Chain A
């Protein structure tokens, strides 16, 4: 126990320790932190502490507090200056909590922005636990981004999985409960692969440092680590958890989910696997895969989730290309994507929040009731489709251009094809079938539909402004990228090319509108094996195993029970006279202990699971450290 306490103390001091943090990007922000010299405050600590204190905040101050904490985190990420901080030395290796360089700065910045927008969007939610789960999730993402060694990466990686699942469970539907368990199952499997890979890597190289792996001579360890990363990036065939879970999240939980898991994975891939050839092919497959499933999808949020797969495909392909321009493009696209995808999830989340519906076959014609939500969602749709003057235009094209430059023409053309598909669905299908099209609303849905509360509108407005700002003023984003940018998106050729593709895609959409009318169906994806596999296991447990159990019981009854009865009579005498006295005494004490334990055990399966996994994680770390 005392060893565990020492571990906690060391980790805590590591997070807020060592190295001076002088002058940041923003002098105001760095001057803002009343830190004794020599302390380094990890942005994730603000979120974790802020979350822990949230239940103590009086309800009239809650809204301000909810906005204050993400603002502090944002200010803190702005104040970070390049360097290595928060190093903790154990026996013969080092945990690094704060590796701040160009790559981690840009990702940390956008995660903090997403945290603020997401919290503002759900600020009217009364249940503290939802905010705590979301902040812990963001803390996991920030912790991964600033981590300099693989063990720290793993710890925060798992923190993300175990906190984000609550954003699905809190929806409270039976489906969300099941989807949450499936989500956890998949992520635990990915985590195990990651940990195994890390252990093998450390064993082989002796180094815990998280840097570029040898992508030209990958070992089993490299593959396992990459497997863990690409599972979180939702690369097929490891992607089915994403639409499954994000379609079932709470209205604001999915806004968080859409930003952090996949983009943290993109960060990790940029860091560790830039130039890994196979990622180009995987990225292109992803980009098209999401598009195909989006045609079939009836649930607006699941459609958006499939388009996360599609968009992350561009980033993964960028990582695979691995040139400075491609990595810049992957970072820029992750940055832009977090904002516009958050915006799209906010728009559809607002419809869900106000009407209780997210399926196209239950919606339609809502522009009369929610016109501003429509405009914001449309801005998100135009941004993801890479219309000139919107954010996607300046980020996505960088990756495609890098593809052409590397003479991977097939990749570049297929990515162009995917962007036609993106506009088709997210820019046209989503707005059209929710706000226009045939009005499928039930009277109750129609009555409930209205613009969402002010904080949700404000969050959407901020994200919209940022999407347009990034698209119009390129230096804002380009200056933050890890490498110097030698790329100009606004050439006459590129603008003309993009407008032609998108407008003629629009023409195709309206000509084939009848084919695109959503139907009340679901599409089988690669979650089928484990959804049905689980059922096969249950059937096995129920039928053959049960039958076997019955047979054994019968044999036992015939062959064992009768002789047993005889001997039991003898024992009975001994028991009544001798043992009872002793046992009764014990039983009394056990009953008293039991009733005490019962009051601590409330049957909340999820909480118990989280506690168990938390304890297991701590034990695992302790084990790694001392043995």
Chain B
């Protein structure tokens, strides 16, 4: 099972992987802010030209979806598994 060893390789170095991910995130923001790399002519609206726009959109969107859905679920939508049993 070479694939399992491959996955375990990364799991054993979880700290490093997480740090690597942060570096990737920072690089993505940086690249997006450099006009000669990412041509913002393609932007649909002026708000998108703000450097952190899509990063913030993704992060806040994710947080909003999780919190709003959980609140919705807790408001009486989530029931015990035997709710429909007679």
CB distance from B25 to the nearest CB of A (A): 6
Q: Flag if B61 contacts A500 (CB, 8 Å).
A: no
In the complex with contacts A295-B65, A295-B73, A524-B77, A505-B58 CB distance below 8 A: yes
On whether the beta carbons of B65 and A417 are closer than 8 Å, the reply is yes
User: Which residues of A have CB within 8 Å of B19?
Assistant: none
A-chain residues with CB within 8 Å of residue B29 when the two chains form the complex? 500
Q: Is there a chain B Cβ closer than 8 Å to A606's Cβ?
A: no
Alpha-carbon separation in the docked complex, A367 to B79 (Å): 30
B: contact size bracket: 35 or more
Q: Mark A391-407, 1 if CB is under 8 A from B, else 0.
A: 00000000000001000
Q: Does A238 lie at the interface of the complex (its beta carbon under 8 Å from any beta carbon of B)?
A: no
The answer to whether B68 and A292 have CB atoms under 8 Å apart is: yes
A524 and B70 within 8 A (CB): no
Residue A589 at the chain B interface, CB threshold 8 Å: no
Interface residues in A498-520 by Cβ distance below 8 A to B read: 499-509, 512, 515-516, 519-520
Contact present for A504 and B4 (CB under 8 Å)? no
B65 touches A421 (CB 8 A): yes
Is the beta-carbon distance between A501 and B61 smaller than 8 angstroms?
yes
Q: Is A521 among interface residues, defined by CB-CB distance under 8 A?
A: yes
With an 8 A cutoff between CB atoms, is A368 at the interface? yes
Which residues on the B side are within 8 Å of A508 (C-beta)? 58-59, 61-63, 66
Q: Which residue of chain A is the closest to B36 with respect to CB atoms? A: A492
B83: contacting residue among A412, A506, A516, A522, CB under 8 A: A522
**B residues near A371, Cβ cutoff 8 Å:** 1, 3-4, 7
Partner of A515, one of B54, B66, B78, B83: B66
CB of A496 within 8 A of chain B?
A: yes
In contact, B62 and A535 (Cβ under 8 angstroms): no
> Are A503 and B45 in contact, with the CB atoms below 8 A?
no
9 contacts across the A-B interface (CB closer than 8 A): A296-B69, A296-B77, A296-B78, A493-B39, A497-B32, A504-B59, A515-B70, A521-B80, A522-B80
Residues of B within 8 A of A (CB): 1, 3-4, 7, 21, 24-25, 28-29, 31-32, 37-45, 48, 54-59, 61-70, 72-73, 76-81, 83-84, 86
Where the two chains meet, the residues of A that have a C-beta atom closer than 8 Å to any C-beta of B are 291-293, 295-296, 367-368, 371-372, 375, 404, 409, 412, 416-417, 420-421, 424, 491-494, 496-497, 499-509, 512, 515-516, 519-524, 531, 535
